[in-house]
Amino acid sequence: MYKVGVPIVVVYQASNVDTGKTIAMDIFDETQAKDVAKSVVSMTEMGTTGRYFATFTPDTEGEWVAMMYDSLPPAKGHVVKAFTVTNQSIDSVGDNVDAVKAKTDNLPDDPADQSLVEVAIATAESNIRGSDNDTLKTLADQLDAIQSPPMVG
């Protein structure tokens, strides 16, 4: 699968691995309409290998088709290749999985281990209560009892 907005490299091998050919690439979008702007008049040959390449960038999801052929009359050697285009690619899914893994690597092996949860709660309560072990109600009552001093503006 390929991702919307990411260039797709298309490679074509000419009949008999012929070099110096003018290989065209017609691109058909997800509605099977020829996308003239994305089509290529002449693909680039890789050295003198008889293999040619070009790129196109799909702009929406769907099944895109590239048709390559030797465009000099008489046109010949037609081949097609379909590309499934989505909003995700294997790379982007892998990146998302890695991000989730990085955020969860520090979790305990068994997050349901009740004793670890109870220790964390007791530690938090101890930090809140302080050394005199006041309850939250006692602290709230003490805060409510604080009076504002007289002031001059």
Q: What is the pLDDT of residues 74-127, one digit of tens each?
A: 889 999 999 999 998 777 777 888 888 877 777 666 666 777 778 877 777 777
Q: What is the pTM of this model?
A: 0.62
Judge whether 2 and 85 are in contact, CB under 8 Å.
Answer: yes
Q: Which helix (H) or strand (E) holds 117?
A: helix 114-129
Cis peptide before 74 (omega within 30 of 0): yes
Q: What six digits make up the tokens of 150?
A: 């007289």
Strands (E), 29-112: 44-45, 51-56, 62-70, 76-86
| CATH 3.90.1150.10 is right for the domain spanning 2-88 | no
Judge whether 39 and 10 are in contact, CB under 8 Å.
Answer: no
| Distance separating alpha carbons of residues 64 and 1, to the nearest angstrom | 11
Judge whether 1 and 82 are in contact, CB under 8 Å.
Answer: no
| Distance separating alpha carbons of residues 40 and 9, to the nearest angstrom | 12
- Residue 85: other Cβ atoms inside 10 A: 23
Q: Which helix (H) or strand (E) holds 116?
A: helix 114-129
Report pLDDT digits (tens) over 17-69. 999 999 999 999 999 999 999 999 999 999 999 999 999 999 999 999 999 99
Q: Where in the chain is the domain with CATH 2.60.40.1930?
A: 2-88
